[in-house]
Structure formats: structure tokens, C-alpha cells
Structure 1
Amino acid sequence: MIREGKFLISRRPYAVDLSSLRRLERDPGKTWAWCVVDAVWFRGRKTEPVACIGTLRTIIDNPAPADAREFLERYTDGRYGGDCDGRWDGENYWGAQKPEVIEQHLALLRPMLANYPEIPAGHNGWWRF
């Protein structure tokens, strides 16, 4: 991924929680593992943005990335984009079914959309493929 200083919704950028890197091995004997980081992003049009929350994940060959920044630098295949867990358009929510998860998502997505296109607190951005 490429770190950009300027937000352009047309480039489909992500803001990432750099403290959230997780390595999920399928088989410890393999030389690769799934790596995952939490992310938020905007989609839609510039005049009608939608705030999204979810993850970025891909398979990373050994050695495992030391941190989320290294993971992002080695993550080069963006054809699938982020895995969206929740989305807020200012009126409707789509995503989780558990009330406590919905509340957590909306606690981040509401101010994120209200402050469009600012990077939410605790996130690093903007990253794009």
C-alpha cells in the first residue's frame, strides 16, 4: 500500500489502526500466514460519503511483518479491498446484529462521517493500493 498525505475519495483510501496487527496462521508448518489490521474508510461520492469500518487482510509470506506499517508496505494486492463489518450513511446503519457491536461501530462512524474527510482519532492514513 502507498501512504498519501492528501485525501481523495476517488483513490479509495483507508485509515488504519497501527496497533491492531494480528497474524492468524492456518497451519504453523506453512511459510505464510493471514495478517489483519483494523481500518476505516469512506466510500460513495464526494457529496454523499458513507463511513465504513472493517479490516484489511492478506496472506504474507515469512518473515512475518514486524508491525502494521511493514504489513501495509508489503500488502500489494488490493483487488478485494477491505472487509466491511459496518457502514453508516448518516441515516441508516448496515452491519453487525449485536446491539453492543452496533453501538461500538456507531461511536466511531458517526463522528467520522460528521468530520468527513478527517482521519479518525487513533488511526493513521491515508493508505491506498
Structure 2
Amino acid sequence: MIREDQFLISRKPYAVNLNSLRGHRSPTPQGRNPYYFDGRIDAVWFRRRRGTTVACIGELWDLQHPEPTDARQFLQQHDDGRYGGTTHGRWDGDSYWGNGTLAEQERHLAILRPMLANYPAIPPGYDGWWTFQPAR
């Protein structure tokens, strides 16, 4: 991924919580690497859905070797964006979509409501904007 200072929704950027990287080593049964790092990092992003801007919350994940030393290295090594982020919740200004407990929905909305209201600002606690698209 590449970090950009300017927000362009067309580049499908993500803001990430650099303190949320988590993962574990898993053995690799084939190939030349003895293991891969199965990592995940919390993220938020804006997208357009049927002409409406929505705020999304979820995570980015990747399998990597070698194991990254920190979140920035994890993001810089993450070069396969075909799956995008895994969405856990989405807010369009009128309704919430998600499949979690009520407490989790409330936690999501505490981030997503002000995020959408302050579009395209990065929410507090997040770093952005990170994109899979090549630099221009």
C-alpha cells in the first residue's frame, strides 16, 4: 500500500489504526518460506454506494513473509488489494448495516457518524490515506 496525503475517493483510500495490528505466524506446508504472518489491522474508509457517500469500518488483512516489524511495514508490504477491506459496519447517514452485537454497532456508530459528518476528514486515532493504487 502507498500512503497519500490527499484524499481522492476514486483511489479507494483507507485510514488505519496503526496501534491495532495483530496477527500470528502460521506454518507454510509448501513453498520456500517456513511460515507466513497472518495479519489484520483496523481500518475505516469512504465509498460511494448508489450515488450516496457512506462511511465503512472493518479491517484489512494480508498473509506476509517476512513478518513485518510494525504496522507501517505491514501496510507497505500489503500489495494485493483485490479483496479490499472486510466491512464490519457501514453508515449512510440514515441507516446502519452490520452484523454484530448491539454494543459493537454502537461502537461503530460512535466512529462512523462523526466520520461521515466531517467527510473527508480522517477520524481521530487513524492514519491515512493508504491506497493500493499505484502512485500518479
**Partner Cα distance (1:98, 1:26) in 2:** 29
TM-score scaled by length of structure 1: 0.92
User: What SS does the corresponding residue of 1:77 show, helix, strand or coil?
Assistant: coil
Q: What corresponds to 2:44 in structure 1?
A: 40
The 4+ residue runs of structure 1 with deviation greater than 2 A are 24-30
The answer for unaligned runs of 5 or more in structure 2 is none
- Secondary structure of 2:20's aligned partner: coil
Which residue does the alignment assign to 1:22?
22
What are the Cα deviations for residues 99-120 of structure 1, in whole angstroms up to 9, with x where unaligned?
Answer: 1001000000000000000000
The root-mean-square deviation of aligned C-alpha atoms, in Å, is 1.6
**Larger Cα-atom Rg:** 2
What CA distance in whole angstroms lies between the structure 2 residues aligned with 1:36 and 1:98? 21
* Aligned residue type for 1:42: F
TM-score, normalization by structure 2:
0.88
Query: Partners of 2:27 and 2:108 in 1: how far apart?
Result: 32
What is the aligned partner in structure 1 of residue 65 from structure 2? 61
Name the CA distance, whole Å, in 1 between partners of 2:75 and 2:101.
Answer: 30
Once the two structures are overlaid, the 10-residue window that deviates more, 84-93 or 20-29, is 20-29
Q: How many residues align?
A: 127
1:25 alignment partner, SS class: strand
Distance 1:122 1:28 in 2: 34
Question: Following TM superposition, by how much is the alpha carbon of 1:33 offset from its aligned partner in structure 2, in angstroms?
Answer: 2.0
